Amino acid sequence: QVQLVESGGGLVQPGGSLRLSCAASGSIFSINAMGWYRQAPGKQRELVAGITSGGRPNYADSVKGRFTISRDNAKNTVYLQMNSLKPEDTAVYYCHPVAVRAGWGQGTQVTVSS
């Protein structure tokens, strides 16, 4: 089973940027599509970006044009570059395979506020 550790969150001003990282362990990492999810207070967890094993990305409409997902299979790491951040991006961000079950990590808190 893949183990996941998210990092890189923090407090930023509107319009700012953050780069999240997800370090994964497990032999199946490189063959699985990975996603970044977020959960804001009072809302359900949602998939905001996904990336196939070959590196093809997809994005939710709410983040398209602002976020970029990437992966480095040699490092077993998935990244989320977040630009032009808005207060509504405030949430706990998690990475997790899109199509298989794995243990959820602790997530990393992103807070966008002036």
pLDDT tens for residues 5-23?
999 999 999 999 999 999 9
Please name the residues in contact with 51: beta carbons below 8 A apart, sequence gap of 6 or more.
Answer: 33, 34, 35, 57, 58, 69, 70, 71, 78
At 35 the pLDDT is 97
Round to whole Å and give the CA distance between 12 and 59: 22
CB 94 within 8 A of CB 104: yes
At 30 the pLDDT is 80
Give residue for tokens 């602790």: 106
φ and ψ at residue 107, rounded to 5 degrees: 75, 170
At 18 the pLDDT is 98
At 88 the pLDDT is 97
At 28 the pLDDT is 67
